Amino acid sequence: MTQPQVHSAPASRPALTLRTAVAGVGGYAGGELARLLLSHPRLAETQPMLLGRTAEEAPGGAMPLEQLHPQLALGGGRKLPEVIPFHWNAVADAGVELVFLALPHETSREWAPHWIERGIRVIDLSGAWRLKDNANRAVYGLHDPDPTLAESLQKEAVYGCPELHRDTIAQARLVANPGCYATSIILALAPLLRAGWVDLDYGIVCDAKSGVSGAGKAATAKTHFMYAADNLSAYAVFGHRHTGELLEQLGLACEQIQFTPHLLPIPRGILSTIYLRLRDKTEPQAIEAGLRSFYASSPMVRIHRTPSLPHIQHVVRTCYGDIGFHLAPDGRRLVLVSCLDNLLKGASGQAIQNMNLMCGWKEEEGLL
């Protein structure tokens, strides 16, 4: 069998530092972004500008970050940066060079063109810019004030999976951070599909389970404790909005893959179990070697030595994606298991990884 392609980072002249902003710092992903940026070794002298709607009603128009995220509070009387209301002039005066949008899809779709127009690079954590195909993007119900401009930027937007697109991410003005479910499945399947090992006539089944934080900070009936606790439920069958990412990034038709998400009664973490059939009889050593070869230059992916399988507890509160597998005795039926923290490798950690690439820094800086 052909060995999967190895991806290597491009040589680039690294920036010394960077002035960043986080729009939407009040959410779970926004809080993790603030934590990672505040501890990033390259940003010690340039604290991020933190923007949040909740600050609009705070006394003096500013709110301590620890009031939104108490876990980030510092000891010894040290102060975190304040969260302030968004204002274009304030952002311009601060010399912001790159902004993270941790906002609703519709808001990110509206705001990103304005940031780009001002020469500010964008890493968007929503689904606003992930999908090239109009039919796939329709699930978000987006309406563009300027459809021509939006279509132009959509063509330019780079899907922010560093393991697949690090060369283009490094040069991008607009990076669309992947969805958390999509990341877990794409990382597991991409090496095998690109090597042509998968028998697509048998189809691929992806059974994925996520903690409650994947639904965001706003409470809903299905994320309420009385619904989620002591429960396990499937949802969005044949209709989850991350499905389009799987089709576009893996080059699959909708009838070749079935993705069903489930809600786990835990705060964070994703475990995806993926079932497929190989075209030819294969040995476990070949599968493991193929995975390791594909991710040899990817510091945030860890391959488990078969037959060990990853667990959510192995990855929670880390920025790693872990992949393991079992191969049936017939050498053709394969089960992959992929785990990550949906708020980190599935969101904010991956966004920092993309920032590092855009600045010419090591992918793993500030993430280990």
Q: Which residues are catalytic?
A: 180
* Cα separation of the two ends of the chain: 34
Q: With contact defined as beta carbons under 8 Å apart, do 353 and 368 qualify? A: no
One-letter amino acid at 218 equals A
Residue 344 DSSP one-character state: I
Which residues lie across from 234 on neighbouring strands?
Answer: 262
- The H or E element that residue 37 is part of is helix 28-38
Length in residues, the chain: 368
Q: Which of 14, 1, 367, 343 is nearest to 183 (CA)?
A: 343
Residue 164: exposure state from Cβ atoms within 10 A (0-12, 13-18, ≥19): buried
Alpha-carbon span 102 to 314, nearest angstrom: 26
One-letter amino acid at 94 equals A
Which residues lie across from 123 on neighbouring strands?
Answer: 100, 175
Beta strands 204-210; 233-234: pairing state: unpaired
Residue 111 vs residues 126, 147, 172, 300: alpha-carbon distances, Å: 12, 14, 17, 30
Residue 307 vs residues 204, 327, 332: alpha-carbon distances, Å: 21, 9, 16
